[in-house]
Amino acid sequence: MVVLLKNNPDPKQMENLTNWFHSMGLNTHVSVGEQQTIIGLIGDTSRVDMDVIRALDIVEDVKRIQEPFKNANRKFHPDDTVIDVAGHKIGGGNFQVIAGPCSVESEEQIIGVAKAVKASGATILRGGAFKPRTSPYAFQGLHGKGINLLLEAKRITGMPIITEIMDAATLPLFEDVDIIQVGARNMQNFELLKQLGTIRKPVLLKRGLANTLQELLMSAEYIMAGGNEQVILCERGIRTFETYTRNTLDLSAIPVLRSLTHLPIVVDPSHATGAAYLVKPLAVAAAVAGADGLIVEVHNDPAHALCDGPQSLTPAAFDDMMKRLQKVLPYAVRD
């Protein structure tokens, strides 16, 4: 961290400031220039609050040089984190495809889709029971009943399941869920993240619609700071000015995150694009760019899905995507 002082700082105030840094266990290096005096802070600055320093009378600006995240940081944890989901490993060279409908709608639907995607090679079943919808008048999901239907599909197919949580008060319902998903709109619902830090179950954390990768890692840090180290990061598209796609899938996030963190990275081409015809090209692109997995929407009857129909693949289209994926995966760039 570098602290830039205003011109001609008061020597007494400056001494107080450096003493304060020392009391926080930091070393300081002071550069006195003609126009500008700079204090460099050496040590672990992840707990330093830049805003407090910036508010001081003699300080003009503060710039962070090191990353503010620690548990998620590859520098302090060089090896890939590998997360085991009922025997299916994600990360460290292990690639998994998570598939299923946007919403759980009925027993017939979820079991039908589960069998179909399993046959094509998916290993984990997705399905929404609590649905975040922009409008209070839109379908909000089957809630507890939806989770029970997912558990029934798990019992029948043997596939572990992932579903989204929207409120920590419902955590008891997720006891037999294998991965808990945090949606994009809750990426900075810090109270929810703290609660998920207290459990010992994998959490798939989606990047917010207008959040940076550093903010995503800071939200992962919230979960990890509580002791839960099983965090899977998910790139699902960010808001841009483009209107032909619902969001803009940021595939650069894959190699960037790989360099910054040891956590696995999964890509959601369905929500990112909002259109079925875009899922296959972006799924294979994500795979060769080095993703650790995909999460893809599949519905046996997209035209009558209760939510997000236009972006769901049919089982046949999903099978076609999986075949192409198998071809390109050996050439994925992961160095």
Look at residues 251, 253, 248 and name the one whose alpha carbon lies nearest to residue 275.
248
3-state secondary structure of 70: coil
Query: Is residue 166 close enough to count as binding its own copies by CB under 8 A?
Result: yes
Which member of 6, 14, 18, 56 binds its own copies (CB under 8 A)? Answer: 56
Residues 84-123 that bind its own copies (CB under 8 A): none
Look at residues 294, 272, 275, 297 and name the one whose alpha carbon lies nearest to residue 283.
294
- The nearest distance, CB 84 to its own copies, in angstroms, is 25
Query: Is residue 36 close enough to count as binding its own copies by CB under 8 A?
Result: yes
- Interacting stretch for its own copies, rule CB under 8 A, among 26-34, 115-123, 145-153, 156-164? 26-34
Query: Is residue 149 close enough to count as binding its own copies by CB under 8 A?
Result: no
Angle between helices 315-328 and 279-288 (to 10 degrees): 30
Which member of 10, 20, 22, 42 binds its own copies (CB under 8 A)? Answer: 42
Query: Is residue 310 close enough to count as binding its own copies by CB under 8 A?
Result: yes
Burial letters for 157-191: b for 16+ Cβ neighbours within 10 Å, e otherwise?
A: bebbbbbbbbeeeebebbeebbbbbbbbebbbbee
Query: Is residue 150 close enough to count as binding its own copies by CB under 8 A?
Result: no
Token couple for 282 = 């972006």
Token couple for 53 = 């320093």
Provide the phi-psi class of 274: left if phi over 0, else alpha when psi is between -120 and 50, else beta: left
Which member of 149, 278, 294, 322 binds its own copies (CB under 8 A)? Answer: 278
Query: Is residue 24 close enough to count as binding its own copies by CB under 8 A?
Result: no
- Interacting stretch for its own copies, rule CB under 8 A, among 15-23, 115-123, 134-142, 149-157? 134-142
Distance CA(122)–CA(118), nearest Å, equals: 5
Do 232 and 202 touch, CB atoms closer than 8 A?
yes
- Interacting stretch for its own copies, rule CB under 8 A, among 15-23, 144-152, 173-181, 253-261? 253-261
Which member of 19, 106, 214, 316 binds its own copies (CB under 8 A)? Answer: 214
Nearer to its own copies, 92 or 226 (CB): 226
Query: Is residue 267 close enough to count as binding its own copies by CB under 8 A?
Result: no
Site residue total, its own copies (CB under 8 A): 107
Residue 334 burial by CB count (10 A; 0-12/13-18/19+): exposed, middle or buried?
middle
Strand order across the 27-32 sheet = 27-32, 37-42, 2-5, 59-63
3-state secondary structure of 184: helix
Distance CA(111)–CA(92), nearest Å, equals: 30
- The nearest distance, CB 86 to its own copies, in angstroms, is 28
Give the up-direction half-sphere exposure of residue 334: CA atoms within 13 A in the CB hemisphere.
20
Which member of 124, 238, 298, 322 binds its own copies (CB under 8 A)? Answer: 238
- The nearest distance, CB 263 to its own copies, in angstroms, is 15
Which member of 86, 156, 169, 316 binds its own copies (CB under 8 A)? Answer: 169
Query: Is residue 285 close enough to count as binding its own copies by CB under 8 A?
Result: yes
Query: Is residue 22 close enough to count as binding its own copies by CB under 8 A?
Result: no
- Interacting stretch for its own copies, rule CB under 8 A, among 77-85, 110-118, 154-162, 307-315? 307-315
Residues 1-20 that bind its own copies (CB under 8 A): 2, 4
Query: Is residue 218 close enough to count as binding its own copies by CB under 8 A?
Result: yes
- The nearest distance, CB 282 to its own copies, in angstroms, is 6
